[in-house]
Every structure is written in C-alpha cells, then in structure tokens.
Amino acid sequence: EMNDYIRYPSKWSAVSKNAKAICAIPSVTFNLTPVIQIYNINNIHKLLEFVDELTEEFGRPVGLDYLICYFPDYLDPRALPLELRQPAINRLEQYKNTGKNIEHGLIANSIDKALGHLKAEQHPHHEKLLQQFKDYTNVLDKTRKQEFSTIDPELYNAIFNG
C-alpha cells in the first residue's frame, strides 16, 4: 500500500484501525491531514473515499485537510509535468462534483487548495528535482527492500522510463 511505502515502517491496517478507534469516541472530532507529494499523487482521492467511509460508519463528519509537500522539493508534485498531475486533478474535481462529504467546509477548501497547487506551473528546476527524486527512490527501494514500481507502476514508468 501507498502508506506503507511513504510512511515506512507504518502499516495502513494499523493506521486505519487507529483512525476507527478514534472516530468511535463520541466526544472527539477527527480530521486527516495527509501530505500530497509525488509518491501519492495518484492515490490522494482514496483518502477522501476513506473519510466518506468513516463518516458513514460513525454517523458524523470526518474532515480532511491536504497539506502540500514543499520540502524536500524533489517530492513537490510541481516537479512533475502537468500531464502526470492531470489524473489527480481530474479525480479531485470529480470528488467535488460527486463526493459524499464535499459539504464539509474543511474538505471543500482543502480540495481547492490542492487543485491550485496541482494546476500550477511546473517547478522551474523540475529536471534536477526529478533526477533527485529518482536517486532518492532508488536508495529507498534498496535500503527498505521495497519497490516503488509495484506501488504505482504507471507513475514509475512515466518518471523512470518516460
């Protein structure tokens, strides 16, 4: 899973279980604050779906507030060309039109903020940053015995072989 790659050695099964345990406490307001970066750009909509599931399961709103990765700058989504960011843009715009939890002000504002960043011009140093991203990914994969190519094969191929 994406979480297990980005937040190594974290396990999504434990994160999900803990989120549900927190949501089960009636006096607690729960919001997710995921960071949008190159690694998870094609999966950021899945957290909106998770928030929708939590909201439905616990009968009260669960929020989400995207943060944007600016540092290290080689993880900033603007290092990618717009055509590689476009699928994420499309998914977020679709959620704005059909999402179960879009009336939650925090989520709507967060999506707008994320869309603004994803639609922005490509980072002026994108070539250098993408090389740093590749180098960093190769180190992670080797030291952790993981493979980003299995987490998001389409994005991996576009960056590494495109």
Q: pLDDT per position in the chain (162 positions), as tens?
A: 899 999 999 999 999 999 999 999 999 999 999 999 999 999 999 999 999 999 999 999 999 999 999 999 999 999 999 999 999 999 999 999 988 888 778 899 999 999 999 999 999 999 999 999 999 999 999 999 999 999 999 999 999 998
Give the separation between CA 124 and CA 110, rounded to whole angstroms: 25
Strands (DSSP E) found in the chain: 31-32, 35-36, 63-64, 67-68
